[in-house]
Amino acid sequence: MTYASVKPLTLTLGHLYPDQLNLYGDRGNIMTLQRRCQARGIELRVVGLGIGDALAPDEYDMLFIGGGQDKEQAPVAQDLYELKGIGLWAAVEDDMPVLAVCGGFQLLAHYYRPAEGPDMRGLGVFDAWTIHKGARVARCIGDIALSWNGTTLVGFENHGGRTYLGTAKPLGKVLKGFGNNAEDHTEGAIYRNAYGTYLHGSLLPKNPHFADHLISLALKRKYKEDDDESTIAAFSATNNGQRLEQDTSEDVLAVTTLTKEEATSPSPLTLAPLDDTLEWEAHTYILERLGLHNAATAAIRTHIKQ
């Protein structure tokens, strides 16, 4: 393990349609990203992109789009397709991390067919489509847990639309809850570093490992070509908001330098750990409440220091 001085790390997150798609506490996802970056001395700048604003992909390192009601999605769908679509597609193909929740997830698929009115055309980032079967069919509401990357994700879902995947890879397999359509046990979709999901604003607060996954992907993408002898500096731990750049003990790792080969590998970089005891207690509480006791025990053993 080698250590080096840290250059200031900065990221810019584009928040699409913050005024239109703002239901169910989805701002909690952005607040979590900000807090976890700040705790490591990383500056995360959040820029709102509303209707009429162009999306220049080279100005951002991450993108987020939340959920809203059907009546709010129609003008968003038109703006997304006609104005922001080219920039968003370019960002996705360049492996920019994108998190799309509920309505945002639906609009990044091929189309959304509401209970009433014409179809809303999506961007087709995800090979998927969504159909709302009308008021007579119960909404998918409640806590949800799914398997992801050898562990679990938990959250809260509230959607009337049913999403069906074509060739898209799901984000995870539903352990308890409804997921994409309450039929095939899939939840969400993945394309490159774009993630669609029905898990709302409790997603990142209760899943710190997924939040860090997005942050590390963004940092790796931005800093993969470092000017200092082809190395890339990973991320400092903090103590009461102060950077620990001199301490090289294992529990307060300041900086890890990677070779150029490591820096350009497909796996995300490893962030310095934070004290996530409360987050994992909230995570395991949802698992216990859903009756997933073995998964809760596994989460405690893996993530909460004894």
Pick the residue with more confidence: 172 or 301? 172
Residue 41 has a CB neighbour count (10 Å cut-off) of: 20
Give yes or no for residue 258 having a pLDDT over 70.
Answer: no
| Mean pLDDT computed over every residue of the chain | 85
Domain ranges of the chain: 9-210
Phi and psi, residue 276, nearest 5°: -110, 30
Give yes or no for residue 216 having a pLDDT over 50.
Answer: yes
Quick one: angle between helices 208-223 and 27-38, nearest 10? 60
CATH topology of domain 9-210: Rossmann fold (3.40.50)
Q: Which of 15, 102, 209, 213 is catalytic?
A: 102
- The whole-number average pLDDT for the span 126-147 is 96
Q: Which of 15, 110, 132, 200 is catalytic?
A: 200
Written as six digits, the tokens of 146 are 């799914």
Question: Whole-angstrom Cα distance, residue 282 to residue 75?
Answer: 36
Stated pTM of the model: 0.85
Q: Please list, residue by residue across 179-191, b when 16 or more beta carbons sit within 10 angstroms of its beta carbon and e when fewer do.
A: bbbeeebbbbbeb
CB-CB contact of 127 with 166 (8 Å): yes
Question: Whole-angstrom Cα distance, residue 199 to residue 170?
Answer: 13
> Does 200 qualify as catalytic in the annotation?
yes
> Does 37 qualify as catalytic in the annotation?
no
Q: Is 139 annotated as a binding residue?
A: yes
